Amino acid sequence: SQKIEQNSEALNIQEGKTATLTCNYTNYSPAYLQWYRQDPGRGPVFLLLIRENEKEKRKERLKVTFDTTLKQSLFHITASQPADSATYLCALSLNSGYSTLTFGKGTMLLVSP
Amino acid sequence: DVKVTQSSRYLVKRTGEKVFLECVQDMDHENMFWYRQDPGLGLRLIYFSYDVKMKEKGDIPEGYSVSREKKERFSLILESASTNQTSMYLCASRGYQETQYFGPGTRLLVL
C-alpha cells in the first residue's frame, strides 16, 4: 500500500542552524510534492511545491529537494528562527489537475533561542 | 489572498445530533475538500468536490455526507454524530494551481 513517512519525533535545533526535515514515500510515483506549515490549532499553510522533473526548489530561507530514485524529499530551513517552530507536513499528488493530496503525519520543529 | 472560512472554531454536540460544518471560499475555486485531523493519524480526506453538485468520496467517508449547492460553499454533514467523530475538521479549496488553501479548522467535540 502507499505510504508517506515523516519523522514522528520532534526535531530540536538551535537558532541560526539549518533544519532538515525528511519525507519518504513508498509505492508512489508522485507528479509533485508539496510542503506545508501548520501551527497549533490552525490549518496548514502552503510553503513550496516541487515537481517530479525538478531536483531542487528555493524560496527565501527554504529549500526543497526531490529525489524520485530514493523516493525522498528533504526540506531545509536555513538560519532558523524560533518563529519557524511549527509542524511541517509533506503531501504527495499522483498527478496534476483533478488529483487529491495525501499528507504525511508531519514533523514538529522546535527552534530554541 | 485566498480566504477560506469555516463556520465555527469550536463546536460541542451530543451523540446522535445532526451536525453541519460550513466552509466558504472567496476565490472562485473549483475544488474543495474536507479533512479530519487526529493525533497520530494526520490529515485524512473525507470528501471532495470538483464542481457544484459534484462530490467524491475520500479515504474515510463513512458517517459523513457533503453538499455543494454553490461554488463557494462546501458543507460537511454528520448525520448522527458519534464520539469517534470528535476531531479537528479542516476545509480546503484549490484552483487551477495545485496548492490547497486551508481554513482555520473546526474543533468538534461529541459528547
Instruction: Provide mean pLDDT across the span A33-44.
Output: 96
Flag if A42 and B98 touch (Cβ within 8 Å): no
- Please state, in angstroms and rounded to a whole number, the distance separating the CA atoms of residues A8 and B101: 24
Question: Which residue of A lies nearest to B6 if distances are taken between CA atoms?
Answer: A43
Mutate to test the interface with B, among A45, A103, A108 (most CBs of B within 10 A): A103
Instruction: Provide mean pLDDT across the span B66-77.
Output: 96
Give CA separation, B74 vs A19, A100, B34, B59, in Å. 37, 16, 8, 18
- Please state, in angstroms and rounded to a whole number, the distance separating the CA atoms of residues A95 and A100: 8
Task: Give the pairing of strands B10-13 and B106-110.
Answer: parallel
Has residue A38 got a pLDDT over 70?
A: yes
Chain centroid to Cα A47, Å, comes to 9
Flag if B42 and A103 touch (Cβ within 8 Å): yes
Task: Specify the higher pLDDT residue, A7 or B11.
Answer: B11
Question: Which residue of B lies nearest to A88 if distances are taken between CA atoms?
Answer: B42
Q: What is the pLDDT of residue A94?
A: 74
Per residue in A47-90, pLDDT tens? 999 998 999 999 999 999 999 899 999 999 999 999 999 999 99
Residue of B58, B99, B107 with shortest CB distance to A100: B58
- Please state, in angstroms and rounded to a whole number, the distance separating the CA atoms of residues B43 and A102: 8
As given in the structure block, the three cell numbers for residue B82 are 458519534
Q: What is the pLDDT of residue A7?
A: 87
